[in-house]
């Protein structure tokens, strides 16, 4: 038969339980906020990754730099309608003559070995510009005979007698002088020149960006949006603003680039900008997706940790995995304690 508990034993048990309660309360006071207690994990604030923001800043900066490179290429007819234009063209012709004359004087004779090697090389074909200069407006309004004579003389030199470096320099000056006498020329503008309506060309070429609407579109597309995107990516750390600007701005700039310029007019600066804006567009989409994952993580922190949904977790997953294991251990221990208390309560009710 079960032995009845005396009053003294009951008092002793009560005193022991009180002591345990006091010690437990003291321990709880010492517990820090970072300690996991009965399945309640620390709500660690996710360290935000700045990789996308830094990448956007760098790419926007690179796009602004691309505006200083050759952006578009155009082929324009020379126009000599005023005395200033004629003087400017004659000045270019005289400058080409002086450079070609100097390059011819700077020719260096090659040694016997290089002469034999040069004989195996094919001579560069030089387009003789005499008919071009006589028939077009350049030959009609400017003095070209002196330069034509010098080009004819330089083109007739035996290329095998001279070093390749000195003869290549002469060829470069011949091509430059020939281009000066041509009735048209291919010139390139940078993005900044398109935005502000200026040109690399001199007075002999017509202006290209006279339209106010075109300059407005260039300004918004190629200058304002990259600068706005740079500042948004620099300062926006919590919202979708930088991602929205990245997506919308990049799409508009790509449309702006190909809407105003056919493919044959686009130079390498515009090609680099196009590639960078494609990357920015992809990063903007990725930024929106990452922000959604981050928001889900903050809203369902406990669920993600307990279920081990690693794809939702940010950096530091190993620490969260440890806390998840601790959560399970604490819950198991708490279940044992609860079952013991319930059993004790049932015994008291039977008595």
Contact present, 227 and 30 (Cβ < 8 Å): no
Tell whether the model's pLDDT for residue 129 goes beyond 80.
no
pLDDT at 338: 82
Burial track 265-304 (b if 16+ CB lie within 10 A, e otherwise): ebbebbebbbebbebbbebbeebeebbeebeebeeebeeb
| Greatest C-alpha distance within the chain | 137
Would you state the structure tokens that stand for residue 95, as one six-digit string?
A: 């400058």
pLDDT at 141: 84
Instruction: Tell me the pLDDT band of 218, cut-offs 50, 70 and 90.
Output: confident
Tell whether the model's pLDDT for residue 37 goes beyond 60.
no
pLDDT at 204: 39
Question: Which has the higher per-residue pLDDT, 150 or 216?
Answer: 150
Residues in the chain: 351
**Considering only 7-16, 71-80, 252-261, which range has the smallest mean pLDDT?**
7-16
pLDDT at 101: 92
Q: What percent of the chain has pLDDT over 90?
A: 8
Can you tell me whether residue 73 is helix, strand or coil? strand
Query: Which one of 51-55, 302-306, 324-328 scores highest in mean pLDDT?
Result: 51-55
Contact present, 171 and 83 (Cβ < 8 Å): no
Q: In this structure, which long-range contacts are made by residues 40-47, counting pairs with CB atoms below 8 Å and at least 24 apart in sequence?
A: 41/301, 41/302, 41/305, 41/320, 41/323, 41/324, 41/327, 42/323, 43/301, 44/301, 44/316, 44/319, 44/320, 46/294, 46/297, 46/298, 46/314, 47/314, 47/315, 47/316
Question: Which has the higher per-residue pLDDT, 185 or 221?
Answer: 221
Q: What percent of the chain has pLDDT over 70?
A: 69
Question: Which has the higher per-residue pLDDT, 44 or 18?
Answer: 18
| Per-residue model confidence as pLDDT tens digits over 244-287 | 888 998 998 888 888 877 788 888 888 999 999 999 999 888 88
Question: Which has the higher per-residue pLDDT, 265 or 48?
Answer: 265
Tell whether the model's pLDDT for residue 203 goes beyond 80.
no
Tell whether the model's pLDDT for residue 41 goes beyond 50.
no
Mean confidence (pLDDT) of the chain: 75
Mean pLDDT value of segment 125-149: 75
pLDDT at 277: 92
Question: Which has the higher per-residue pLDDT, 102 or 195?
Answer: 102
- How far is it, in rounded angstroms, from Cα 204 to Cα 81? 9
Can you tell me whether residue 316 is helix, strand or coil? coil
| Per-residue model confidence as pLDDT tens digits over 147-201 | 888 988 888 888 888 998 999 999 999 988 888 887 777 777 888 887 876 554 4
pLDDT at 40: 38
pLDDT at 45: 46
Mean pLDDT value of segment 202-211: 46
Would you state the structure tokens that stand for residue 116, as one six-digit string?
A: 């034999």
């Amino acid at each position: 038969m079960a032995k009845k508990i005396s009053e003294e034993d009951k008092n002793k048990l009560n005193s022991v339980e009180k002591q345990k309660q006091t010690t437990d309360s003291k321990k709880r006071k010492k517990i820090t906020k970072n300690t996991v207690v009965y399945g309640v994990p620390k709500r660690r604030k996710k360290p935000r990754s700045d990789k996308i923001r830094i990448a956007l800043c760098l790419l926007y900066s690179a796009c602004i730099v691309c505006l200083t490179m050759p952006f578009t290429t155009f082929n324009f007819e020379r126009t000599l309608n005023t005395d200033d234009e004629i003087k400017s063209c004659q000045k270019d012709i005289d400058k080409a003559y002086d450079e070609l004359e100097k390059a011819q004087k700077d020719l260096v004779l090659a040694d016997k070995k290089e002469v034999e090697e040069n004989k195996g090389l094919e001579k560069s074909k030089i387009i003789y510009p005499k008919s071009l200069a006589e028939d077009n407006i350049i030959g009609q309004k400017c003095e070209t005979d002196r330069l034509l004579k010098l080009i004819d003389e330089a083109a007739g030199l035996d290329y095998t007698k001279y070093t390749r470096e000195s003869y290549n320099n002469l060829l470069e000056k011949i091509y430059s002088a020939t281009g000066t006498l041509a009735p048209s020329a291919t010139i390139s503008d940078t993005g900044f020149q398109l935005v502000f309506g200026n040109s690399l060309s001199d007075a002999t070429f017509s202006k290209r960006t006279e339209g106010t609407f075109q300059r407005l579109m260039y300004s918004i597309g190629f200058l304002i949006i990259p600068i706005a995107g740079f500042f948004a990516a620099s300062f926006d750390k919590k919202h979708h603003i930088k991602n929205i600007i990245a997506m919308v701005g990049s799409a508009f700039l790509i449309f702006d680039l190909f809407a105003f310029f056919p493919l044959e007019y686009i130079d390498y600066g515009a090609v680099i900008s196009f590639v960078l804006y494609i990357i920015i567009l992809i990063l903007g989409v990725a930024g929106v997706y990452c922000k959604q994952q981050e928001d889900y993580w903050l809203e369902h922190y406990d669920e993600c940790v307990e279920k081990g949904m690693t794809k939702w977790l940010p950096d530091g997953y190993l620490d969260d995995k440890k806390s998840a294991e601790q959560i399970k251990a604490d819950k198991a221990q708490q279940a044992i304690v609860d079952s013991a208390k319930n059993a004790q309560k049932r015994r008291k009710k039977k008595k």
